[in-house]
C-alpha cells in the first residue's frame, strides 16, 4: 500500500496481513486462479471473502472422509485477525485450518471480494 504523508507518497507493507502456508486442493486452487483472473482480483482475496462468510455460519459442514487427495502447498498472505478467527473455528470444530479454508470456498462471492487494486491503495 502507499501512505500519503505531507503530499509525498511512501510505499509501506500492510502490517495487518501475515504470511501463511497450508495445503489446499490443486483443483480448487486452479479454479480460484481462473476466477481471480476473470474478475481482476487475487486468490487470497477470494479465499478471505469465503472465510468471512463461513465464519458467520453457526456450523461448518465438512466431511473428513471427502478430503481432497490432490493437496499442494499454497503460501500467501491473509488478514491477521481473520486468520486467528479461522484457527479458532478449526480448533472448535476439530478440523485442520486447510479444511476450514476449503470449506469456505463455497461461500465466495467475487463481487464482494476485494479487487486486485486494493493492494495499491493510498492511505
pLDDT in tens, the chain (123 residues): 566 677 766 666 667 789 999 999 999 999 999 998 898 888 988 999 999 999 998 788 887 788 889 999 999 989 899 999 999 999 999 999 999 999 999 999 888 776 555 554 455
Which residues share a beta bridge with 104?
none
Question: What secondary structure does DSSP assign to 17-53, as a single string?
Answer: EEEEEEEEEHHHHHHHHHHHHHHT--HHHHHHHHHHH
Q: Are 3 and 123 spatial neighbours (Cβ–Cβ below 8 Å)? A: yes
Other Cβ atoms within 10 Å of 56 Cβ, number = 8
- Global pTM value: 0.79
Q: Any alpha helices (H) in 41-96, and if so which ranges?
A: 43-56, 80-92
Rounded alpha-carbon distances, angstroms, from residue 103 to 13, 22, 72, 80, 93: 29, 14, 16, 19, 12
The continuous run of DSSP H or E covering 100 comes out as helix 97-104
Taking phi first (over 0 means left), then psi (-120 to 50 degrees means alpha), and beta for anything else, what does residue 48 get? alpha
* Grid cell in block for residue 80: 491477521
Amino acid at each position: 500500500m502507499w501512505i500519503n504523508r505531507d503530499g509525498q507518497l511512501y510505499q509501506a507493507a500492510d502490517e495487518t496481513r501475515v504470511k501463511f502456508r497450508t495445503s489446499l486442493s490443486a483443483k480448487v486452487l486452479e479454479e480460484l486462479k481462473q476466477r481471480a483472473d476473470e474478475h481482476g482480483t487475487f486468490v487470497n482475496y477470494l479465499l478471505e471473502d469465503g472465510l468471512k462468510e463461513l465464519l458467520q455460519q453457526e456450523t461448518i459442514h465438512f466431511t473428513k472422509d471427502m478430503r481432497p487427495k490432490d493437496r499442494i502447498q499454497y503460501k500467501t498472505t491473509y488478514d491477521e485477525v481473520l486468520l486467528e478467527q479461522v484457527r479458532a473455528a478449526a480448533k472448535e470444530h476439530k478440523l485442520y485450518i486447510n479444511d476450514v479454508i476449503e470449506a469456505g470456498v463455497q461461500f465466495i462471492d467475487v463481487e464482494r471480494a476485494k479487487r486486485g487494486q486494493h493492494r495499491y491503495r493510498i492511505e
